[in-house]
């Protein structure tokens, strides 16, 4: 249960990694776990797995298991996940316009 619609949206994207995962998956139609892990250093294997599972449970990400050996699994954004991109883009744009760039370790949207 959420307090309100704002709370619901923020809970879906809160945390250090979920917006980064959204952007990684948005930039690639299909992403493998190892590629995500490599592109998101210093995230740990465990944290990435937990965050992706939470996003799957929330309906933001789909997991496709190709039932092959070696294991072949890909992740992509659902329509619901894709619909969050414009929302986080606006948040990014606001940050770029209102925060001194020297205070940012990195930029996700430029």
How much is the pLDDT for 110? 65
Whether 56 maps to a domain, the answer reads yes
Whether 64 maps to a domain, the answer reads yes
Whether 26 maps to a domain, the answer reads yes
Whether 50 maps to a domain, the answer reads yes
Indicate the number of domains in the chain. 1
Whether 68 maps to a domain, the answer reads yes
Strand 73-77 with 31-32, pairing? antiparallel
- From first to last of its 110 residues, the chain has per-residue pLDDT tens of 889 999 999 999 998 899 999 999 998 878 999 999 999 989 999 999 999 999 999 999 999 998 878 888 999 999 999 999 999 999 999 999 999 988 988 887 76
Write the DSSP assignment of 1-69 as a string of letters: --SSHHHHHHHHH-SSSHHHHHHHHHHSSSEEHHHHHHHTTT--HHHHHHHHHHHHHTTSEEEEE---S
Element spanning 57, H or E: helix 45-57
Whether 80 maps to a domain, the answer reads yes
Strand 61-65 with 31-32, pairing? unpaired
**Prior bond to 48 cis, omega within 30?**
no
Whether 109 maps to a domain, the answer reads no
Write the DSSP assignment of 79-102 as a string of letters: HHHHHHHHHHHHHHHHHHHHS-GG
Structural domain boundaries enclosing 20: 5-103
Whether 53 maps to a domain, the answer reads yes
- Confidence (pTM): 0.87
CATH code, 92: 1.10.10.10
């Amino acid at each position: 249960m959420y307090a309100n619609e704002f709370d619901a949206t923020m809970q879906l994207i809160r945390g250090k990694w979920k917006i980064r995962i959204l952007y990684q998956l948005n930039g690639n139609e299909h992403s493998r776990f190892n590629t995500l892990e490599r592109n998101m250093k210093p995230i740990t294997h465990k944290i990435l797995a937990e965050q992706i599972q939470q996003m799957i449970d929330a309906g933001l990400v789909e997991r496709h298991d190709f039932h092959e050996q070696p294991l072949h699994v890909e992740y992509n954004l659902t329509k619901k996940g894709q619909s969050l991109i414009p929302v986080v883009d606006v948040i990014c744009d606001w940050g770029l316009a209102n925060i001194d760039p020297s205070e940012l370790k990195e930029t996700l949207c430029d």
